[in-house]
Amino acid sequence: MCGRYANFLTEQELVDAFAIATLADDARLLPPTFNHGPMQVGVIIRQRSDARVGEAAKWGLVPGWAKDSGIGSKMFNARAETIAQKPSFRNAFAKRRCIVPANGYFEWQVTPEGKVPQFIHQANGSPLAFAGLTEVWRASADDPWLITYSIVTTAARGEMRQIHDREPVMLTADDVETWLDPASTQDDLFAAIDSPAPDLTWHAVSPRVGNVRNNDPGLVEPQ
């Protein structure tokens, strides 16, 4: 699973890394986050016409047919194995894919001393591009639209299996193009999901990351 990540990328870093044409005002105003949890608002990247845009969205996908937005608290991850069949995700997978940018993410490794939080990131320091899904929802025609998202996960591979049995789908630059392209076939999308993950490294961090109210640069520093 992926239940906590960090995104302290600057606007220019987002533009440079993901070729964003526009960062919406609501996304531009979001502060850096070192401990981003479900039901919080973060930045997603979508393809609109021929340009990529960065927008603010709430982490926890709410399908358009949902009767209330509370369902989002259980929908912050979407399993790749069932993404094309599960009613909660299949429409977004087919039509509304996004990228979730991050500096890295947190996972709790089981050790003889107990669970130890690890900060996992690219070895070269480049941003990660999580495969995401997005939806819009509103309670009634008189209410504003709520934009939400979920991060796609898959079975952990290679050395990551010593940390956890699941990992977020992390896309290469070429796979980002495929994921955001509305013309991509389902076979194309699953090939992107199955592509090798980037070169990752990790280190133990403070247990303070377990409380989402803690949000400071010290949370990503080695302990």
Would you please indicate which residues are annotated as catalytic (active-site) residues? 2, 107
CB 154 within 8 A of CB 145: no
Using CA atoms, how far apart are residues 167 and 211, in angstroms rounded to an integer?
21
DSSP string computed for 77-116: EEEGGGTTT-TTTHHHHHH-EEEEEESEEEEEEEETTEEE
Instruction: Specify the 3-state DSSP secondary structure of 50.
Output: coil
Of 41, 149, 39, 43, the closest CA to residue 92 belongs to 149
DSSP string computed for 166-209: EEE-B--HHHHHHHH-TT--HHHHHHHHHSPPP-EEEEE--GGG
| Phi–psi pair at 111, nearest 5 degrees | -130, 170
Using CA atoms, how far apart are residues 102 and 157, in angstroms rounded to an integer?
20
State both tokens at 62: 């709410």
